[in-house]
A and B are shown apart, each in its own frame.
Chain A
Amino acid sequence: MLNLLLIPLGAAALLTAALATTDDETAVDVSKRHERPPHDVQLIIHEGTRLLAADADDGHDEEDDYAPALFARLSAEFPNRFTEDDEGIFRDAWPETRDGAIVWDDENECYWEVVTADRLTRGRQDYVQFCASCHALEGDGFGRSGVALRPPPRDFSQGLFKFTKVNSEKLPDDAALLALVKGGLLGTPMNEWDISDERLAEIITYVKSLSLPGDEDADGSTGWRDPYNQIAGVIDASDDPWTDDPGGAIEQGEGLYHKYQCYTCHPAYADAARTDALRGVEGSGTYPDDHTYPKLRKDSSYTVLDYNVAILPPDFTWHDMRRGNTVAEIYQTIAGGVAGAGMPTWKGAAPDEELWAIAYYVYDLAETYKGNDAQRAAFMRSIR
């Protein structure tokens, strides 16, 4: 029962301590990006924006634009209201105000998607509710809940996304981002967001609008407001060359994994002698002590407190793969690369068949050893 008495005493002590410390609180230095207080939650956005749109496949053709189609539809809907002369009004004035319109930019030779203030406001409302706790109200990834998270939450002004399964040198299209947000990222607080597609699309539009305005001189990608960027869809994974021979794929994948020196960042799953054998070199000699461990060797493009954090390459037998539930997903990630991290775009650098084989091998590693502590320990003992 003594504890019952201690509670009020403890509460009093805590209260005293709290009152004593408030005086010492120093003013926040607003010049420091991560220490400034968040902006007011301003839910009304007064101006829309233009975001880079995915390239239309059929090329640019003014006659195919929205205006004639809209004119035809409205003329049918309201007979005697419009004349042939009015068609120009639609062509000239309307696209700037219609949400989702795709307009051609002669100067930059690219398509823009028109986004209205209304749509951005709706997107921001949901963003503040669902995303801002980690990604912050400003979208810079320094939300209250994102503190000390590794990997850090995305800074949306960078326009970099790691696991979209899109060629990482390009920007992901809406479908790729929607799939990412809906599927979540395993092993991180990025959940499987169970929100309607319509609202997610608005959130994604808002998130894209957080990227910085385009600048020809800027280093690297600045996202959807930069006309020099390109947008691509999810890498096609329907053509699996190994469906009839998964065993062969795993065997070849092991060789290729070590031949392409994936162990420079990821762990090697072979001792030094076997690594040499798999690479087809003789007595190349020395491998570092952490040969069979993941290595924090490369900085990423993800900055926290002015420090480029190192992104840990996963050990497939120990860590979660963010989006690696199937061989095809692993293939897509290998082929596309991981934007901003050390993982390059492998598609084109190696034949597709080989990338698929590596995906089979990696999937098999995770399937065999992950969560299977005894078997993994035995395997690791055999190679260390």
Chain B
Amino acid sequence: MTLSHSHSVRSFLGPVRAVIATVIAAASLAPGALAQDATRWGPKESASSFGWRFDDLFMLIVILTGVSFLIMMVMLLVPVFRDKARAGHKASFDHGRSLHDKRFTAIVSVIVFIVLDAWVLVVAMRDLDEGFWNVPGPGEAPNAVRVQVLAQQWAWNFRQPGVDNKFGTPDDILTLNELVVPASAEAEGNEDWFAGRPVVLNLSSKDVIHSLFLPEMRVKRDANPGAINRMWFTPIRPGDYAILCAELCGFAHYQMHGKLRVLSPADFDAWEAEASAMALAAYDENDAGAQWAWDWQE
């Protein structure tokens, strides 16, 4: 019984059928991936002002490499079937040593480099320059929501300046594994990069290298001990999103996740006022060991 069963499985997965099955599977997966159905395939929908850059770049790479892959496959398969041995025709073998072949290879390489690598590089650099790297400098985004992030094994400490907007004061809001920020609907598709209230983060770590990953915001940046890294994004839709650690940081790395709560601007102001008041109640000025804020790095 077992034997015949395994035999039938093996015969089904014969080489030809395997190729057909792969093609069918890929064809059935592709529309889902293209449609960005958050519940099934692909990353969850972007919820930040420049998240579309990441998605567009990702799709560009998928299309470019997909088309190149198809062209390559055709170029490989056509000679295999055209030149195979059959009645009255002997299979010919060619190592591609002629000048013609070398020139052809060189031209294909240059085309592949320009179409794939250079194109992707230029788009990626533009996106980084206008998006991820474009952290608001001094005075560029006066409305920015500023957060100091102190990573540790295995949790995220967040410090927000509270209603007085100064770090290291008694009303600083301290949260663990939960970051609350306002949504800025006007930032979506706005020509002003810093429209609304961008969230600007200062990242550091107590112990080892961690990496703050906000998948729906399409941003990720390392938190290094002894250094302060900067990152920014502008959430455009209220909701609960994921906070993850994207750098293997020890045994409980997999448990180092949290919740990014994006509230409407009015809800955020109410939350900030209440959280500041609660922070004042919890503040102990004599407890020197509990203070960890640093000077804000623009």
Question: Cβ of A315: which chain B residues have Cβ within 8 Å of it?
Answer: 278
A193 to B153, CA, bound (A): 13
Q: Is A150 an interface residue (CB 8 A)?
A: yes
Decide yes or no whether B18 CB sits under 8 A from chain A.
Answer: no
Q: Mark A296-320, 1 if CB is under 8 A from B, else 0.
A: 1000000011010110100100100
Of the candidates B270, B281, B286, B290, which one forms a contact with A294 in the assembled complex, judged by CB atoms under 8 Å apart?
A: B281
CB pair B288–A293 under 8 Å, yes or no, is no
Asked if A130 is at the interface (CB within 8 A of a chain B CB), the reply is: yes
- Residue in contact with B282 in the complex, picked from A129, A187, A296, CB distance below 8 Å: A296
Contact, CB under 8 Å: B287 / A293: no
- Which residues of chain A come closer than 8 Å to B206, judged between CB atoms? 144-145, 147
User: A134, B287: Cβ atoms under 8 Å?
Assistant: no
Q: Taking the nearest CB of chain A, how far is it from the CB of B179, in angstroms?
A: 14
Mask: chain B, 163-207; 1 = CB below 8 Å from A; 0 = not: 000000000000010000000000000000000000000000011
Contacts of A19 in B (CB 8 A): none
| Size bracket of the A interface | 35 or more
| B129 within 8 A of partner (CB) | yes
Is B47's CB within 8 Å of the partner chain A? no
Residue in A3, A145, A189 whose beta carbon sits within 8 Å of that of B129 in the complex? A3
Partner of B290 from the list A150, A377, A380 (CB cut-off 8 Å) is A150
Q: Using a CB-CB cutoff of 8 Å, which residues 328-369 of chain A contact chain B?
A: none
Q: Is the CB of B255 within 8 A of A191?
A: yes
Contact between A191 and B287 (Cβ–Cβ < 8 Å)? no
**Shortest distance between the CB of A33 and any CB in chain B (Å):** 12
Q: Would A134 and B153 count as touching, CB distance under 8 A?
A: yes
CA gap between A188 and B125 in the complex, in Å: 40
Interchain nearest-CB distance for A207 vs B (Å): 17
Q: Is A118 an interface residue (CB 8 A)?
A: no
Residues A305 and B289 in contact, CB atoms below 8 Å apart: yes
For residue A345, give the distance in angstroms from its CB to the closest CB of chain B.
25
Q: Note all chain A residues with C-beta closer than 8 A to B153.
A: 133-134, 145, 189
Alpha-carbon distance A154/B129, docked complex (angstroms): 46
Interface presence of B69 (CB below 8 A)? no
Instruction: Determine the main DSSP class of A at the interface with B.
Output: loop
Given A133-B250, A191-B154, decide whether A294 and B282 contact each other with a Cβ distance below 8 A: yes
| B292 CB–A CB distance under 8 Å | yes
Interface residues of A in 255-306 (CB under 8 A from B): 290, 293-296, 304-305
Number of B interface residues at 8 Å Cβ cutoff, please give it.
36
Q: Is B70 interfacial (CB 8 A cutoff)?
A: no
- State whether A130 touches B277 (Cβ < 8 A): no
Interface bits A145-161 vs B (CB < 8 Å: 1, else 0): 10111101000000000
CB distance from B204 to the nearest CB of A (A): 12
Those of A192-210 within 8 Å (CB) of chain B: 192-193
A296 vs B288: C-alpha distance when bound (angstroms): 15
- Do the beta carbons of A293 and B281 come within 8 Å of each other? yes
Complex alpha-carbon distance, A308 and B129, angstroms: 49
Q: Inside 8 A of B288's CB, which chain A residues have their CB?
A: 305, 307
Which of B155, B227, B289 interacts with A304 by CB under 8 Å?
Answer: B289
A374 to B264, CA, bound (A): 12
Q: Which residues of B contact A144 (CB under 8 A)?
A: 206-207
| Closest-CB distance, A267 to chain B (whole angstroms) | 9
State the Cβ distance, B283 to closest chain A Cβ, in Å. 8
Instruction: Specify which of B274, B284, B292 is in contact with A377 (CB 8 Å cutoff).
Output: B274
Contact check: which of B125, B152, B271 meets A145 at CB < 8 Å? B152
**Structural contact, B129 and A1, CB atoms closer than 8 A:** yes
Q: B111 to nearest A CB, angstroms? A: 25
Q: How far is the CB of A265 from chain B (nearest CB, A)?
A: 11
Question: Quick check: B125 and A1 within 8 Å, CB to CB?
Answer: yes
A-B contact pairs, 7 of them (CB 8 A): A3-B129, A3-B133, A130-B251, A130-B252, A189-B152, A294-B278, A377-B270
Which residue numbers of A lie inside 8 Å of B, CB to CB?
1, 3-4, 14, 129-130, 133-134, 144-145, 147-150, 152, 187-189, 191-193, 290, 293-296, 304-305, 307, 309-310, 312, 315, 318, 373-374, 377, 380
Per CB-CB distance, the 8 closest pairs between chain A and chain B, nearest first, are A189-B155, A145-B152, A304-B289, A293-B281, A148-B292, A133-B153, A145-B153, A144-B207
Given contacts A148-B290, A304-B290, 13 further A-B contacts (CB under 8 A): A4-B125, A14-B227, A133-B152, A133-B153, A133-B207, A145-B207, A149-B152, A189-B152, A294-B281, A296-B281, A296-B283, A304-B287, A307-B289
